[in-house]
Amino acid sequence: MEIRYFNRSLKEEESELVYGASWVQWLYRSAVGRAIGRLVTGPLFSQIFGKWQDLGFSARKIPQFVQRFNINLSEFMPEESGSRARPYSTFNSFFIRRFTETARSFPEVEGQMGAFCEARYLGYESSTSSKQFPLKGELISLPTLLQNERHQKTFIGGPLLIARLCPADYHRFHFPDQGEKMDRYPIPGDLHSVNPVALKWKSDILTTNERRVTILDTKNFGQLAYVEVGAICVGKIIESHQGKSFSRGQEKGYFLFGGSTVIVVGEPGRWKPADDILHYSKQGMETLIKLGDPVANGLVGQGPKDRL
């Protein structure tokens, strides 16, 4: 299965090089893979696999990984104990690498929402009146995604962005605007792959995988439900930001090894996903966007609320 996406920076369509593609297809398409699926998608397998990436010998696969996925290491900082010859001591330390201070930036225009992940985006202007939103031809339940009756009422009919991170991507996620945390809660679940190959065979992955939900009150975009979705081989979701207040572009947390997803849902009428994201989403195609580049705009006549 070829995965096509639009690369905004290059302004062209590309085919995704999928890490572990044959293994994912075997797990979801073969009878044996589906039979042992519960063992592989449970938390224990991913925790053990994550610990494996913390061992020193795991660093040996970094050069080949960098070459295969054409990763520009000059954009990234080494770990604190790293050297020029060996910037990362383990694969996990490489996996959670940070950008240099000048590699990425967030919009200065308050009405523009910056990309909270460097990832492949799908976007929708609103969930439907039946409390659902479309994804790859399926309807996903907003109440099932959020698992909180009080909060789901706030976001029914609101805009939505889905950011899918591949294993080769930068795996830290950020706040799209300044504001304050209103609530935070975990939702237990499985750890299926979030790759489109897996989504084709199991369309409810994003609402049955383990999730962390944070309700944000932002200056320019109203309330946001910020949902971090775990995935197979993700050793852990780390919340690096502590405290209530946050600033635009500030790091919120990161995923340890594995591909992952972040979903952001907004209040109705407060903002709209960028036109290119909407255009390609209607075609069932994701848009690759760099961290901090605009992914949404505040709607005319719905200016920022002066509440922060």
Question: Per mean pLDDT, which range of 23-27, 79-83, 105-109 is the poorest?
Answer: 23-27
**Residue 165's beta-bridge partner residues?**
260
120-134, 149-163, 176-190: range with lowest mean pLDDT:
120-134
**Best CA proximity match to 264, nearest among 109, 112, 169, 124:** 124
Q: How confident is the model at residue 237 (pLDDT cuts 50, 70, 90)?
A: confident
Write down the pLDDT at residue 216: 98
Band (pLDDT 50/70/90 cuts) for residue 137 is very low
Q: Which residue has the higher pLDDT, 212 or 216?
A: 216
Mean pLDDT of 291-301: 90
Q: What are 271-289's pLDDT values in tens digits?
A: 999 999 999 999 989 999 9
Q: How confident is the model at residue 304 (pLDDT cuts 50, 70, 90)?
A: very low
Residue 3 has pLDDT above 90, yes or no: no
81 or 244, higher pLDDT:
244
Our CA dihedral for 130, 151, 227, 123, rounded to 10 degrees, sits at 40
Res 303: pLDDT: 47
| pLDDT given for residue 229 in this prediction | 86
3-state secondary structure of 145: helix
Where does the pLDDT of residue 13 fall: very low under 50, low under 70, confident under 90, or very high at 90 and above? very high
Of 296, 276, 297, 272, the C-alpha closest to 286 is 276
- Phi and psi of 207, rounded to 5°? -110, 0
- pLDDT of 168 over the 70 cut: yes
Q: What is the CA radius of gyration of the chain?
A: 19
Ranges 36-50, 99-113, 117-131, 143-157, most confident? 99-113
Q: Fill in the DSSP letter of residue 74.
A: G
Q: Please write the tens of the pLDDT for every residue from 26-79.
A: 454 555 445 444 544 445 454 555 566 667 778 888 999 999 999 999 999 999
pLDDT of residue 48: 54
Q: What angle do CA 230, 81, 247 make, to 5 degrees?
A: 50
Note whether 132 and 198 are within 8 A (CB).
no
**146 vs 13: CA distance, rounded Å:** 32
Helix (H) or strand (E) holding 29: helix 21-29
pLDDT given at position 139: 60
pLDDT of residue 199: 46
Nearest to 152 by CA among 136, 132, 137: 132
The mean predicted confidence, pLDDT, of the chain is: 80
Give the pLDDT score at 308: 46
Q: Report pTM.
A: 0.83
State the greatest distance between any 2 C-alpha atoms of the chain, in Å, as a whole number: 56
Is pLDDT of 81 > 90?
A: no
Q: Which two tokens stand for residue 264?
A: 């952001």
Whole-angstrom Cα distance, residue 2 to residue 204?
21
